[in-house]
Structure 1
Amino acid sequence: MRAPNSIDFWRGFALVTIFIDHVPGIVFEKYTFREYSLSDSAELFVFLAGFSLRFVVNSLAEQPLSAVVYRLASRALTIYFAQILITLFALAIIAGAARQLDQPYILQWHNAAAAFEDPVEAHIGLVLLRYQLGYFNILPLYVVLMAAGPSIAAIDRLVPRLLLPLSFALYLYTLFTGFNLPTWPVEGNWFFSPFAWQFIFILGFVLGGPKGYSSFSPRTKNILFWLSAVQVAGGAAIALADFTPDPANLPDPKLFFLFDKTYLSPARVFHALALACFFSGAFSYISRWAPPLTDFLSLLGRNSLNVFCTASLLSLCGQIARYLYNGRLEIDFLVLLVGLTGMGAAAWVSEWRKRLAEERARRLAAA
């Protein structure tokens, strides 16, 4: 088992935050950093995913490019199958709740109506990732980003200086044009435009590289920590003031000046980077003063995909529980307890399976 580190810890923190924020109205929602920030756990999660991709690519540096393509394409397929599976489970949970509670209205929750009213087209859209349920739409973004992983690794290996400029150019084009992928059979666009969100993913990948954040001197990191703290505080002040730019008073292209999540407007990028820098500096203090918390969140972060899938389904169950019991306070505490327990169990089982696989490999090697 790996020792706790800032990447796993903050990824675990993002997973817990995502779980809470995916149960609208829960009392703990008001204490997540989304309420005090211009960005939220989605930016943190995607940024750390890019950072983690760097570690994978670095571990394969001596391998031919074909091995890198195979490894990253396999990961993208795993995430794709996870998205299909949890969406089917979510539809079953929604259908079961609607039938058990005799509340047909529940079948319309989170864009689910199409699956029951037009199942043929909905299932085609599901397989193509063009049909997405609300609160189950971040993994499709992750699939696209990981599917681009081989191209990212190839550019980084062959012409590394082009990677960030190309990513930034695509990001600017998206802000100018509103470039996105359409959904179907429900008309609309992806909640997370992959053409915009690839930018923060690439930023994580680049900053995780040999010339990235780890190469900065301790003095530079300390300066960045305090500068980021100021920016985080400024973002918190704006969020607490509930300030939102009025699109009618903004010049074109308006996406440059809004706090838009779908297209990851620049204000969200800058704030997310400040948060990442601040969190990185804060980890040493947290690990020193709260080792059990560090261990638990790092455990979640090390097994992020399984934990995310578990958290997504448990958050949906939490929504149903709050609906059934009218959002009572004790139900909120129970939802949080069950959620954290389920996420911890998923992480523990994942870790246990890894240990069994490692022991089996050692026995075979010794035979």
Structure 2
Amino acid sequence: MGHVMAGAAPLPPGARDDRLDMFRGLALVMIFINHVPGTVYENFTNRNFGFSDAAEAFVFMSGLAAGLAYSGAFRNGGPLWLAIARPWARARQLYFVHIAITAISLAIFAGAAHYFGLYEVLLKNNIAALVKDPLATLVGIPLLTHQFGYLNILPLYLVLLLASPLVFIAGLRWPWPTFLCSIALWVLAGQFRINLPNYPTSGGWFFNPISWQLLFVTGLLSGMAMKQGRRFIPVNPWLFLLSLGFVLFVIVWVKVPPIAEAGRAGLGQLSAWGLPFYLTNFDKSFVAAPRLLHALALFYVLASIPALQLVAASRWTAPLRSLGRQGLAVFATGTVLSLFLQAIKTVVEPDPVTDGLMLGSGLVLLLVLSWALNTTTRLRRAQPRPAAATTPP
């Protein structure tokens, strides 16, 4: 067992972790497929084999990437403001990308209704509020208090990045107390239903940052540890077996109806005995315990298998790595493409060939985009830097 789950080897300083790129690329593919509901291929994405889905993976890996990218500036003793400015600059970029894809997506649905008479698209994805109360909704969109369906993960990410300097500062000195505080915050959010508000509609954010921060913080602390050539949560044979057993049990749960019925009945009984909802159901807004535990167990198992480093570095996974290295551009473009395909799916019945052509064409476009951006980055880095200007005597 020891050689199977010894944990991945430390990376050389400055090296990219191919596993992060590969799994982030895989999550982006799953998100793209899931964002076009009604295709036959959504039945094969990872959400059909567990309690959690690609959203949990995306948020965890976003924290992991942030820990790798930004923790050095907080550790090296430089100006604190410069360290804070880097994740905040990324949050600013996310905000404008979110506003841009929101506007483009609205144009897609407005065009579908105006030119093709597909007025039903205006009743989907939380767009109806714009039709019923346009002025208030137009105020809510830039405030992030009104988010359209499938366009609500970037607001979550940017809020978490804005809060990340506190986690970096605390995590460098007290990593485990920081982790425990994150767990306590998740409990408080669930216990008292604390969430950021919506406007003009009622309720809170679909991805509640006060709950989802636990996945982000776990990833961030893990990334900070990886930056120093160690693991935040060490490989332990018993923890590995427990996590693996839970992941396999969940697969059986979701695939065997009698087991699923018995499991739901058991959770229902726990709820009847007084356990709160965030421990006994599968609520996504508050990332309830079954979803959270499944995601963390899966991440731990995958991070503990050394062979995945070889898989991630192989030529077979190069397309996924390419997508993962350009996560923001691929996610934003994929979101716009998926909503365009949603409009088409309002008049197209599920069919393996038609769905395959639509999704396949979208994925090819995303691969071409990631190739172009990665090539541009590589060529720019290969260019010799201009010599520093000298002052004439």
Q: Which residue of 2 aligns with 1:65?
A: 80
Asked if 1:78 corresponds to 2:93, the answer is: yes
| Cα distance in 2 for residues equivalent to 1:269 and 1:11 | 18
Asked if 1:264 corresponds to 2:270, the answer is: no
User: Secondary structure of 2:87's partner?
Assistant: helix
Higher helix residue share: 1
| Cα distance in 2 for residues equivalent to 1:280 and 1:72 | 25
Asked if 1:7 corresponds to 2:20, the answer is: yes
Q: How many Å apart are 1:66 and its aligned residue? A: 1.2
2:363 is aligned, of 335, 340, 350, to 340
| Cα distance in 2 for residues equivalent to 1:225 and 1:161 | 20
Q: How many Å apart are 1:352 and its aligned residue? A: 3.0
Distance 1:289 1:57, change over 3 A: closer
Distance 1:328 1:48, change over 3 A: same
Contact in 1 for aligned 2:19/2:308 (Cα 8 Å)? no
| Cα distance in 2 for residues equivalent to 1:9 and 1:167 | 27
2:268 is aligned, of 246, 250, 254, to 246
Asked if 1:177 corresponds to 2:192, the answer is: yes
1:35 is aligned, of 48, 51, 54, to 48
User: Secondary structure of 1:78's partner?
Assistant: helix
Asked if 1:23 corresponds to 2:33, the answer is: no
Q: Which residue of 1 aligns with 2:5?
A: none
Q: Which deviates further from its counterpart, 302-311 or 206-215? A: 206-215
Q: Which deviates further from its counterpart, 241-250 or 290-299? A: 241-250
| Cα distance in 2 for residues equivalent to 1:85 and 1:168 | 34
Q: How many Å apart are 1:94 and its aligned residue? A: 0.5
Alignment of 1:316-327 (within 5 A): 316-327=339-350
Alignment of 1:78-227 (within 5 A): 78-157=93-172, 159-210=174-225, 215=230, 220=235, 224-227=239-242
The residue identity in structure 2 corresponding to 1:17 is M
Q: How many Å apart are 1:307 and its aligned residue? A: 0.6
Asked if 1:306 corresponds to 2:319, the answer is: no
Distance 1:228 1:162, change over 3 A: closer
| Cα distance in 2 for residues equivalent to 1:211 and 1:314 | 34
| Cα distance in 1 for residues equivalent to 2:190 and 2:40 | 35
The residue identity in structure 1 corresponding to 2:323 is L
| Cα distance in 2 for residues equivalent to 1:214 and 1:273 | 21
User: Secondary structure of 1:143's partner?
Assistant: helix
Distance 1:280 1:174, change over 3 A: same
Q: TM-score by structure 2 length?
A: 0.85
Larger Rg over CA atoms: 2
| Cα distance in 2 for residues equivalent to 1:187 and 1:21 | 26
Matched residues, number: 366
- Deviation track 1:222-254 (CA, whole Å, cap 9, x = no partner) reads 665444322211111122234444386352422
Q: How many Å apart are 1:7 and its aligned residue? A: 0.9
- Deviation track 1:285-337 (CA, whole Å, cap 9, x = no partner) reads 58449934411111111111111101111111222222222233322001221
Distance 1:216 1:344, change over 3 A: same
- CA RMSD in angstroms, aligned pairs only: 2.8
| Cα distance in 2 for residues equivalent to 1:297 and 1:102 | 38
Contact in 2 for aligned 1:286/1:294 (Cα 8 Å)? no
Q: How many Å apart are 1:70 and its aligned residue? A: 0.7
